[in-house]
Structure 1
């Protein structure tokens, strides 16, 4: 399985739609260990209006661990088969290890600043 994290300087980017890049971890389903780490460049423009959801899905991403995210982005990712957990922060590898241990849950909070739009 693969998970993606919107990243800025190796930490979770609080604005999914304008992250520098995505860190993608390949996880061994049985051992719950990280097998591989790769970087995927963020597309130009707003995340929820780009093709990032379908692209990540085609790469095999099933989970996104994110900071803040509007409802539109959550819906687009969910329609592409990607589960979203919001409210994450800190070093991407530490967040991933915490998620693997079951310590990360979705905050359930949407970014309300531009709830129906992307961040500018």
Structure 2
């Protein structure tokens, strides 16, 4: 499974970004290999359609789950249509904490 995490920066000590489509980075984590990479969100500064463009970017990476602080209504519709699960953390959390939790749950 591949998980995309909206990130405030491109390192594991960054926090989960509050905005799915407007974050500057995504951390892509592969639960089968335990590898991760940061990719820039090329849509973060668009005036319109940032969520759509971000979803296309992530769909091309075969993402199954997306984690972000919130999702816009149109992004929710599109993610549901593509059968991509959305997770909103209850508290502010770092990318590193999510990666640790994912690794523990996959063992």
CA contact (8 A) 1:24 1:40 kept: yes
Q: In the TM superposition, what is the alpha-carbon distance from 1:36 to its structure 2 partner? A: 0.7
Matches within 5 A, 1:94-105: 94-99=97-102
Distance, in Å, in 1 between the alignment partners of 2:84 and 2:56 is: 9
Distance, in Å, in 2 between the alignment partners of 1:100 and 1:35 is: 7
Compare relative contact order (CA 8 Å, sep 6+) and give the higher one, 1 or 2. Answer: 2
Tell me, which stretches of 5 or more residues in structure 2 are unaligned? none
Matches within 5 A, 1:87-98: 87-88=89-90, 89-98=92-101
* Structure-2-length-normalised TM-score: 0.75
Equivalent residue pairs, number: 96
Q: Which runs of 4+ in 1 moved over 6 A?
A: none
Q: In the TM superposition, what is the alpha-carbon distance from 1:99 to its structure 2 partner? A: 4.9
Q: In the TM superposition, what is the alpha-carbon distance from 1:71 to its structure 2 partner? A: 2.0
Aligned to 2:60: 58
Distance, in Å, in 2 between the alignment partners of 1:93 and 1:76 is: 28
SS at match of 2:36: strand
| More strand, by proportion | 1
Tell me, which stretches of 5 or more residues in structure 1 are unaligned? 29-33, 103-120
Q: Pick from 10, 15, 19 the counterpart of residue 15 of structure 1.
A: 19
Cα RMSD after superposing both structures = 2.1
Aligned to 2:77: 75
